[in-house]
Chains A and B, each alone.
Chain A
């Protein structure tokens, strides 16, 4: 049996929404290179909706697939809906992750939530 599901491999090989947003409304970062995984999410918000989501990820196959899946799940959703995406639901969408990858690499939803928090903080600051 291969280590990763077909869906994980598909996202790993063809990750969606890779990149940075220059004038991002929110940026969320999680992990660090020392522990092996690091994800940076950029969001663009319009009318309370995630108009655009982009990411850059340093990490294993799972970390890259998770980032890609989160970006896809988040894009087009309202902020409240996006905040309901959990690491577990991302893993589920990917057809499961190997048990030892569930905690270390499955941090995409957290990174997206951080970007949304960052956006909300900025909004609060400008009010």
Chain B
């Protein structure tokens, strides 16, 4: 009976002209959990004190921050005094990479990162290379996986840090972090992982992973923007990147963003309780998209690893068309997605992740990234499965590449007579 009711409601909604909103850009930002939002509210109007002040209204803020620190620590199996709040995951990554480099430069000036890291890791490394450091950028295989053997071979006597992300936000590939950290530690080198898209979604335990530093983002796990954290294992020395007051045990100066930190803590508390349930739900929705879209759309290729994959990540390349057109048409249907195509990026460069996995350049232009949240449901998937195929068909009817393929069975790269074989397996 309830199912019939939902169908009836959907029927009414469609026929009255209301459109569903299906938000599938959760690797950019998740919605805030309402419980998180409610937890934050008193810290705007009621408890506005500076956590460093001696008076009791300041103490309220201090207590709230310490409570949040414990909530974050509990989620990842750390001790509360190993959690350092920052303003965003980019800041956490900058602190980890530059802070370690400055702290251990007597030992050596070589660091290793993968080529599929977030720009905040890649550009921090690049900055260091302008200041006398050497950086090794490790390649990945066609699924986006780093090879532990490559890491073993890349570590030198002067290597001080290895930074490999836990999972890739764009193609969803999950790296074998505990295996990698063992290799890195055997060589006496520090290890950092950017775990922004795994924390709160799949089990993340700093001891099991064996990491010295780990980056977490609030806004990717149903918490507010404006705060993130860096786990720094006890004993690891790091040079602050923001100098000033004694906040965060002297490792990150600046007045604490109390409401957001409170929200972040609450988001971690909720994640700890609800993660396994959400995981099952996300996996089911993700698998539906991955299994059912190719049945409705021909010439569709999955980017990233089929199994070692985030439970909320779907990334397809749709051949013969470009990502931005799909994004715009889907947006008209209130379906929010992103693409790794050159056209959709502000820099007009194809996604460095798709380059790193050596996606055929023409096919990479047709990438569509859908990232789910716990707020999506089967109705959303049904809606996408109904709305997406006609959009692809519409754009393919416009595409000279598609009509050439239909006529000749060949793929065209730059005009008639320049056929090419793309690198994807069917």
Do A and B interact? yes
In the complex formed, the residue of A with least CB distance to B418 is A32
Asked whether, in the complex, the Cβ of B400 is within 8 Å of the Cβ of A61, the reply is no
Smallest beta-carbon distance A29→chain B, Å: 5
Kindly list chain A residues whose C-beta atoms are within 8 Å of the C-beta of B415: 29, 32
Taking beta carbons and an 8 Å cutoff, which residues of A are in contact with B?
4, 9, 12-13, 15, 18, 20, 29, 32-40, 56-64, 100, 104-105
Which residues from A are CB-within-8-Å of B413?
32-34
Confirm or deny: B346 has a beta carbon within 8 angstroms of a beta carbon on chain A.
Answer: yes
Chain A's nearest CB lies how many Å from the CB of B398? 6
> A61 contacts B328, CB within 8 Å?
yes
Residue of B nearest to A68 (CB): B398
Q: Which residues of B contact A104 (CB under 8 A)?
A: 343, 348
Asked if B321 is at the interface (CB within 8 A of a chain A CB), the reply is yes
A-B contact pairs, 5 of them (CB 8 A): A32-B413, A36-B322, A56-B398, A57-B399, A60-B344
**A61-B328, A104-B348 known; A36+B342 contact, CB < 8 A:** yes
Is B324 interfacial (CB 8 A cutoff)? yes
Number of interface residues of B (CB under 8 A): 30
B346-397, CB < 8 A from A: 346, 348, 350, 361-362, 365, 397
CB atoms of B342 and A35 under 8 A apart = yes
Known: A60-B324, A61-B328. A34 touches B343 (CB 8 A): no
B325 within 8 A of A: yes
In the complex, the answer to whether A18 meets B325 with C-beta atoms within 8 Å is no
Please give me the residue from chain B that is nearest to A61 by CB atom: B328
Using A18-B398, A34-B414 as known contacts, say yes or no to A56 and B403 having CB atoms under 8 A apart: yes
Q: Which residues of B contact A32 (CB under 8 A)?
A: 413-415
Contact A58–B320 (Cβ < 8 Å): yes
- Bitwise, B386-426 to A at CB < 8 A (1) or not (0) is 00000000000111111100000000111110000000000
Instruction: Point out the residues of chain A lying under 8 angstroms from B131, CB to CB.
Output: none
Closest to B342 in A: A36
Per the bound structure, the CA–CA distance linking A73 and B337 in Å amounts to 33
Chain A nearest CB from B271 CB (Å) reads: 33
A39 to B342 alpha-carbon distance, docked (Å): 16
Q: Decide if B401 touches A38 in the complex (CB within 8 Å).
A: yes
Shortest Cβ gap from A81 to chain B (Å): 26
Identify which of A4, A9, A13, A60 contacts B343 (C-beta below 8 A). A60
* A40-B343 in contact (CB<8A): no
**Contact indicator B321/A58 (Cβ below 8 Å):** yes
Does B332 have its Cβ within 8 Å of any Cβ on chain A? yes
Q: Do residues A38 and B400 form an inter-chain contact, with CB atoms below 8 A?
A: yes
Min distance, Cβ A26 to any Cβ of chain B, angstroms: 14
Cα distance, A33 to B362, chains bound together (Å): 5
Name the one of B329, B346, B365, B402 contacting A36, with C-beta atoms under 8 angstroms: B365
Smallest CB separation, A18 vs chain B (Å): 6
A61 to B325: give the CA distance in the assembly, Å.
Answer: 5
Q: Are A36 and B325 in contact (CB under 8 A)?
A: no
Rounded to whole angstroms, the CA-CA distance of A39 and B341 in the bound complex is 17
Contact of A33 among B344, B348, B401, B403 (CB under 8 A): B401
